[in-house]
């Protein structure tokens, strides 16, 4: 019974996040619409990759090829047709393409050995193949062996599939005329799935490594029916994972433990390192509430933009969680409504016309540089650059000792002002309401838009908020929190959350006083100056720490409040910091200690929030 419940949570998570091509009950298309072929394509080293080809039964002009590669298996509807053709790719299917889906090396039906985020051969002199060469060889085979194609290929994918799309740029076949890396990780240490600013993402990393590397197919770790908050707390130090569960047999977990600093292992996997002088049209897609990969698509867009001389690099960001644009209507996320079908809009009015333009030569009526959904206002808006720095003014909001936020700093005539809290790694702040069940998202997949009042009664969470806004404030660009802190320990994590507090007289009573998280981030303090060379905090010494919460497009409406919460544990999303300067994978139970953290609020040590406010 416990195992079946855990599997339910697990597969719910997959449907909601990674396996974007599926829905719970996809509507089958008529199998007579396509001729399906299952082929084994031989790579340059002799390994065969399982591939499905769907050619429309169509007598018109030759068609482009759309290729999607995945480590998550090929999913089908009741008629045996890949389920994405009637769900996430429905609008593309209506335009007619030759669709190709492929299991990457070492996964599901493909031969060879799987390697998580395989290092490009440019950085591995012993390697003969990587994901880019496999993509190149696949494209070459398709061109040589398929009929009815027009010699143009597009590549797209989400999450790991987005990374496979982006990394294909390192050895791009000349027939590839358009790519769309969607929710692609870029740097797994700085801001994507496994670490954020040096802080280890425990639950995502443990669950994902276990799922991906104990068999060729997704094999979930069995948490039973317990609250995984308790599971990870009872796990104790990170070294116990191998002692109790993995026994050294999960390679990526071993990598996590052996590379807790930003060393060459992480640097050689960083995608944008390889993206100089790229000149293929790219549609980069991200979601404001993506809990896995928001940093990545923004960085990939930014890097491609450096060399975009002909205006072919584009960015789309909507009100979505991980892969949310590829499923459903996108009219809401949890309790938050968007006033329109944002996902349907994207698939029909952005993605489909974009591929039709670059692969079929059709006119493109609208092709803005950055097309973003302004949350709060619930409207799409176009910008000529992102972030739109010339259209915004960076404005400081200071945190005051009385728990308010003001454009004026605190008066320091009467001495240094500050607030303190005790952070206890043995009683960490949960990242979502408890109980937390199953693989790290599971039933908690909407935690990014969860009402933050669930932690309001904790003494280890500090909160500041503005007065009710007399005028609306719209932001577009990077959100930054500048902390001035001290601690009784020698290391500490700091989590910052930007929150929109709804008024009591909301037209929707369920939203009265709702605390909606707009942006959030964590930093492990020992990496405040250098991710490769950590340095301890000096106990009781004031230290400035800057936290970027990434870029956002949001409108705080009149009558709403701007809130910021600061705390130092976020469990089990983020692994516990012992709060002493130590190599954390080697920490022992006795190393985890309470510490008093102080946030300074006056004079030269005034903690403040920077918001990019759109000019009137």
SS3 of 583-603: the string is CHHHCCHHHCCCEEEEEEEEC
Domain ranges of the chain: 27-176, 391-614
Helix (H, G, I), strand (E, B) or coil at 464: strand
Cα Rg of the chain, angstroms: 24
Domain spanning 391-614: CATH superfamily: Galactose-binding domain-like (2.60.120.260)
**DSSP helix, strand, coil percent of the chain (3-state; round to 5):** 25, 30, 45
429 near 460, Cβ under 8 Å?
A: yes
Residue ranges of the chain with pLDDT lower than 70? 1-31, 440-444, 506
366-414 pLDDT, tens digit each:
889 999 999 999 999 999 999 999 999 999 999 999 999 999 998 877 7
Picking from 405, 464, 468, 474, the residue whose alpha carbon sits closest to that of residue 612 is 474
Contacts of 326 (CB under 8 A, 6+ apart): 20, 21, 87, 88, 158, 182, 343, 347
- Give the neighbor-by-neighbor strand order of the sheet with 462-465: 462-465, 561-567, 493-501, 515-524
338-360 residue pLDDT tens: 999 999 999 999 999 999 999 99
Give φ, ψ of 169 to 5 degrees. Answer: -65, -15
The DSSP symbol for 572 reads T
Q: What is the share, in percent, of the chain residues with pLDDT greater than 70?
A: 94
**Assigned CATH for 27-176:** 3.40.50.1820
The secondary structure of 547-563, three-state, reads EEEEEEEEEECCCCEEE
State residue 438's pLDDT score.
85
pLDDT digits (tens, 9 = 90+) for 108-167: 999 999 999 999 998 878 889 999 999 999 999 999 999 999 999 999 999 999 999 999
Strands 405-406 and 370-374 come out as unpaired
* Matching fold, domains 27-176 and 391-614: no
Is the bond leading into 352 cis (omega within 30 degrees of zero)? no
3-state secondary structure of 494: strand
Pairing verdict, β 313-318 and 370-374:
parallel
**How many Å apart are CA 584 and CA 257, to the nearest integer?**
9
**DSSP string computed for 165-232:** HHHGGGG--TTEEEEEEES--S-TTTTSSSEETTEE-HHHHHHHHHHHHSSSS------TTSBHHHHH
Give the pLDDT of residue 14: 41
Query: Distance between CA 72 and CA 413 in Å, rounded?
Result: 61
Which residues lie across from 436 on neighbouring strands?
Answer: none
* Closest to 399 in 3D by CA, of 602, 604, 613: 602
Tell me if 155 sits within 8 A of 161, measured CB to CB. no
Return d(Cα 388, Cα 379) in angstroms, integer. 17
Angle at 366 between CA 355 and CA 338, to 5 degrees: 95
Element (H, E) at 279: none
In degrees to the nearest 10, what's the CA dihedral of 299, 166, 527, 436? Answer: 100
Using the CB atoms, write b or e for 379-390: b if 16+ within 10 Å.
Answer: ebbebeebbbee
Q: How far is residue 195 from each of residues 187, 189, 474, 478, 524, measured CA to CA in Å?
A: 9, 4, 30, 20, 10
CA atoms within 13 A on the CB side of 23: 17
Q: Rounded to whole angstroms, how far apart are CA atoms 34 and 74?
A: 16
Name 410's bridge partners. 602
**Residue 18's closest CA among 441, 318, 568, 416?**
441
Which residues, at least 6 apart from 241, have a Cβ–Cβ distance to it below 8 Å? 206, 235, 253, 257
Please name the residues in contact with 175: beta carbons below 8 A apart, sequence gap of 6 or more.
139, 143, 151, 152, 153
39 contacts 98 by C-beta, under 8 angstroms: no
Report the 10 Å Cβ neighbour count for 109.
Answer: 17
């Amino acid at each position: 019974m416990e195992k079946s419940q855990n599997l339910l949570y697990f597969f719910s998570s997959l449907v909601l996040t990674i396996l974007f091509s599926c829905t719970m009950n996809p509507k089958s298309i008529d199998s007579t619409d396509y001729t399906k072929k299952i082929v084994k394509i031989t790579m340059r080293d002799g390994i065969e990759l399982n591939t499905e080809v769907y050619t429309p039964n169509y007598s018109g002009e030759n068609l482009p090829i759309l290729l999607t590669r995945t480590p998550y298996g090929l999913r089908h509807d009741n008629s045996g047709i890949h389920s994405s053709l009637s769900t996430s790719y429905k609008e593309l299917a209506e335009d007619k393409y030759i669709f190709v889906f492929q299991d990457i090396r070492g996964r599901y039906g493909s031969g060879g050995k799987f390697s998580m985020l395989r290092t490009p051969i440019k950085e591995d002199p012993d390697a003969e193949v990587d994901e880019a060469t496999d993509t190149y060889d696949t494209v070459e085979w398709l061109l040589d062996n398929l009929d009815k194609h027009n010699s143009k290929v597009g590549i797209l994918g989400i999450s790991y599939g987005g990374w496979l799309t982006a990394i294909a740029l390192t050895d791009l076949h000349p027939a590839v005329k358009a790519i769309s890396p969607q929710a692609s990780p870029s740097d797994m240490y700085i801001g994507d799935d496994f670490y954020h600013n040096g802080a280890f993402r425990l639950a995502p990393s443990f669950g994902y490594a276990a799922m991906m590397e104990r068999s060729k197919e997704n094999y979930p770790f069995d948490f039973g029916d317990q609250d995984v908050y308790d599971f990870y707390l009872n796990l104790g130090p990170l070294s116990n994972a191998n002692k109790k569960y993995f026994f050294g047999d999960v390679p990526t977990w071993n990598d996590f433990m052996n590379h807790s600093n930003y060393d060459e292992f992480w640097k050689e996997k960083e995608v944008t390192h390889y993206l100089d002088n790229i000149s293929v049209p790219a549609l980069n897609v991200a979601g404001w509430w993506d809990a896995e990969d928001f940093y990545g698509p923004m960085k990939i867009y930014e890097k491609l933009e450096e060399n975009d001389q002909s205006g072919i690099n584009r960015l789309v960001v909507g009100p979505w969680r991980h892969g949310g644009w590829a499923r459903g209507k996108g009219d809401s996320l949890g309790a938050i409504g968007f006033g329109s079908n944002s996902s349907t809009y994207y698939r029909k009015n952005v993605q489909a016309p974009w591929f039709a333009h670059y692969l079929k030569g059709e006119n493109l009526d609208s092709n803005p540089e950055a097309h973003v959904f302004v949350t709060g206002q619930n409207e799409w808006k176009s910008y000529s650059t992102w972030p739109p720095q010339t259209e915004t003014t960076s404005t400081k909001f200071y945190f005051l000792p009385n728990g308010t936020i003001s454009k004026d700093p605190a008066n320091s005539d009467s001495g240094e002002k500050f607030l303190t809290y005790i952070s206890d790694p043995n009683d960490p702040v949960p990242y979502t309401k408890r109980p937390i069940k199953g693989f790290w998202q599971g039933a908690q997949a909407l935690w990014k838009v969860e009402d933050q009042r669930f932690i309001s009664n904790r003494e280890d969470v500090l909160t500041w908020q503005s007065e009710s806004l007399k005028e609306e404030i719209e932001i577009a660009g990077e959100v930054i929190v500048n902390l001035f802190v001290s601690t009784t320990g020698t290391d500490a994590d700091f989590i910052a959350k930007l929150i929109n507090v709804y008024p009591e007289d909301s037209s929707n009573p369920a939203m009265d006083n709702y605390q909606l998280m707009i942006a959030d981030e964590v930093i492990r303090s020992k990496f405040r100056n250098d991710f490769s060379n950590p340095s301890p905090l000096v106990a009781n010494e004031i230290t400035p720490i800057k936290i970027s919460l990434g870029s956002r497009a949001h409108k705080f409406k009149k009558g709403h409040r701007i809130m910021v919460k600061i705390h130092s544990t976020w469990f089990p999303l983020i692994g516990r910091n012992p709060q002493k300067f130590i190599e954390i994978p080697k920490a022992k139970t006795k190393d985890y200690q309470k510490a008093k953290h102080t946030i300074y609020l006056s004079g030269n040590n005034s903690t403040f929030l920077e918001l990019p406010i759109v000019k009137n």
